[in-house]
A and B are shown apart, each in its own frame.
Chain A
Amino acid sequence: MSTKKISRRDFLNLVWSAAGALAVTELSFVGLRFLSPRATDGEFGGEFNIGAHEEYPLGSVTPVEVGRFYLVRLEDGGFLAVYRRCTHLGCAVPFDQASGEFVCPCHGSVFTNEGDVLNQPAPRPLDLFPITINEEGEIMVNTNSPIERDHTSPDDIFYV
Chain B
Amino acid sequence: MTEKEIHPPEKDSLIKRIFKSIQRDPLSPEDDRGRMKMVMNSLVLHIHPTKTSKAALKFNYTFGLGGLLLLLASVLAITGVLLIFVYTPTPDAAYESMVALQTDIYFGNLIRNLHHWSGNLMVVVAVLHLLRVFYTAGFTRPREFNWVMGIALLLLIIGANFTGYLLPWDQLAYWAITVGVSLLDYLPLIGEPITRLLLGGSEVGAATLTNFYGLHIAIIPLFIFGIVSFHIWRVRKDKITVPRALNQEADKERVTTIPHLVSIEFTFALVWIAILLLWATFVNAPLEEAANPAHSPNPAKAAWYFMGFQELLLHFHPIFGAIIIPGAGLLGLLLIPYLDQDMDSIGVWFRSINGRWLVLISTILGVIGTFAFVLVDEYWLDLPNWLPFMPSFISNGWIPLAGVLLLLIGYYEALKALKASNCEARQSLFTLLLASFITLTVIGIFFRGEGMAFILPWS
Contacts and interface: CB of A to CB of B under 8 A. Distances in A.
Interface string B169-197: 00000010011011101000000000011
A45 interface: yes
Interface stretch (B98-106, B132-140, B158-166, B296-304): B296-304
A37 B314 contact: no
A109 to B, nearest CB: 10
Contact of B179 (A32, A44, A91, A94): A91
Interface residues of B, number: 37
A103 B175 contact: no
Contacts of A40: 201
A105 B300 contact: yes
A92 B451 CA distance: 13
B452 A45 contact: no
B207 A106 contact: no
A107 B296 contact: no
A91 B318 contact: no
A51 interface: no
Interface stretch (A2-10, A54-62, A82-90, A131-139): A82-90
Contact of A105 (B211, B296, B314, B384): B296
Nearest to B316: A121
Given A37-B196, A40-B201, A106 B179 contact: yes
Contact of B318 (A36, A37, A88, A92): A88
A100 interface: no
Nearest to B393: A123
B212 to A, nearest CB: 13
A85 B392 contact: no
Contact of B396 (A45, A104, A120): A120
A45 B296 CA distance: 21
B199 interface: yes
Given A37-B197, A37-B200, A105-B451, A92 B314 contact: no
Contacts of A120: 384, 392, 396
Contacts of A105: 296-300, 450-451
B317 A92 contact: no
A106 B300 contact: yes
A35 B202 CA distance: 15
A41 interface: no
A108 interface: yes
Contacts of A37: 196-197, 199-201, 207
Contact of B313 (A32, A36, A107): A107
B295 interface: yes
B294 interface: yes
Interface in A102-144: 103-108, 120-121, 123
Interface string B310-347: 10011001100000000000000000000000000000
Interface in A64-95: 65, 68, 85, 88-94
Contacts of B313: 88-89, 107, 121
A107 B309 CA distance: 12
A90 B182 contact: yes
Given A85-B203, A120-B396, A123-B317, 18 more contacts: A32-B197, A35-B197, A35-B211, A37-B196, A89-B178, A89-B182, A90-B181, A91-B178, A91-B179, A91-B296, A91-B300, A103-B451, A105-B300, A106-B179, A106-B300, A106-B452, A107-B452, A123-B393
24 contacts: A32-B197, A37-B196, A38-B200, A38-B207, A40-B201, A88-B318, A89-B183, A90-B182, A90-B185, A91-B179, A91-B300, A92-B293, A92-B296, A93-B296, A105-B299, A105-B451, A106-B175, A106-B299, A106-B300, A107-B310, A107-B313, A108-B451, A121-B318, A123-B393
Interface of B: 175, 178-179, 181-183, 185, 196-197, 199-203, 207, 211, 293-300, 310, 313-314, 317-318, 384, 392-393, 396, 450-453
